[in-house]
DNA sequence: ATCTTATATCGCAAATATACGATGAATGTG
DNA sequence: CACATTCATCGTATATTTGCGATATAAGAT
């Protein structure tokens, strides 16, 4: 963006947006789905499951980790990832909070 | 992305990612928040509330509309927007579905 | 020590996203 | 009709994302 306008929004708005951004790519959704199914940590098996190069998968994992959606432990030459529960619940709550009013006023829709 | 890799993922993965992408900017979060508070439709008031130019706000609205998160009605020279309930509930459901397993297996975390 | 395996990181190319001013279209006002 | 108002769209500059191959790192195997 031509000149960091993002910083002019509230912290909560930025946090929610960052959370959403972390999930804004099908590869990262797929990764989260796998980590959800087997809640044991996975490593390079993800590379075999996704139609992407190893370096690309690694990059997506890094983004998910930076956003706090997953935890990673580098275990010797292998790496082990799993979902970060607390972050997920926190954002899920804020998300619902943002739209909780809406569900009540639903009928008054104007367009 | 260098060559539409996104299309190699499932439709559901792409849908969820698109939904997340629509929310991946603080301005769009802010817009949704305003539309949530007043569930009556808003038009250019958004421009006054956001630290962005009119054309930029219009662009964000367009993206939200394309993603199906909001509805818009062009009412003479003014435009009127409000949340698209059904889309929101649908995606909220899929979102929870994706992670429902996790909440149960929480204790078995490995890292 | 050398080689293999599993990952992360770097550097680059291509595609997208973000932002804005300028312009266009639609409608209402004097 | 001329003009102001409200909003969408176009063109453009810049920044970010996505993806890959090549390379670096770390640990175990031979």
pLDDT digits (tens, 9 = 90+) for A32-72: 999 988 877 788 999 999 999 999 999 999 999 999 999 99
In a domain, A81, yes or no: yes
In a domain, A110, yes or no: no
What average pLDDT does the structure give for chain B? 87
The residue among A8, A24, A15 whose CA lies nearest residue A94 is A15
In a domain, B4, yes or no: no
Segment holding A54, helix H or strand E: helix A54-66
C-alpha neighbours within 13 Å on the C-beta side of residue A72: 20
Helices (H), B3-110: 11-22, 26-37, 45-49, 54-66, 85-105
Q: CB of residue A59 closer than 7 A to nucleic acid strand D?
A: yes
Q: What is the CATH number of the domain that holds A83?
A: 1.10.10.10
Residue B2 has pLDDT above 50, yes or no: no
Which residues of chain A are within 8 Å of residue B17 when distances are taken between CB atoms? Answer: 23-26, 28-29
For position A99, what pLDDT does the model report? 74
Which of A28-42, B27-41, B59-73 has the highest average model confidence (pLDDT)? B59-73
Domain region containing A41: 11-96
In a domain, A104, yes or no: no
Q: Could you tell me the distance in Å between the CA of residue B37 and the C1' of nucleotide C26?
A: 29
Tokens 């804004």 identify what position?
A: A24
DSSP 3-state assignment of B78?
A: strand
CA distance A80 to A51: 20
Give the number of domains in chain A.
1
In a domain, A6, yes or no: no
Residue B74 has pLDDT above 80, yes or no: yes
In a domain, A2, yes or no: no
CA distance B63 to B25: 11
For position B102, what pLDDT does the model report? 52
Give contacts of B 70-109 with A, CB under 8 A.
71-73, 80-83, 85, 88, 96, 98-99, 101-102, 105-106, 108-109
In a domain, A23, yes or no: yes
Cβ pair B16, B95 in contact under 8 A? yes
In a domain, B2, yes or no: no
């Amino acid at each position: 963006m031509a000149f960091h306008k993002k910083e002019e929004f509230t912290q909560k708005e930025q946090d929610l947006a960052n959370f959403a951004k972390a999930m804004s790519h099908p590869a990262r959704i797929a990764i989260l789905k796998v980590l959800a199914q087997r809640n044991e940590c996975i490593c390079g098996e993800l590379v075999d499951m996704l139609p992407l190069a190893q370096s690309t998968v690694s990059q997506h994992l890094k983004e998910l980790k930076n956003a706090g959606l997953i935890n990673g432990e580098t275990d010797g030459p292998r790496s082990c990832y799993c979902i970060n529960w607390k972050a997920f619940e926190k954002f899920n709550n804020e998300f619902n909070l943002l739209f909780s009013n809406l569900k009540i006023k639903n009928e008054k829709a104007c367009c």
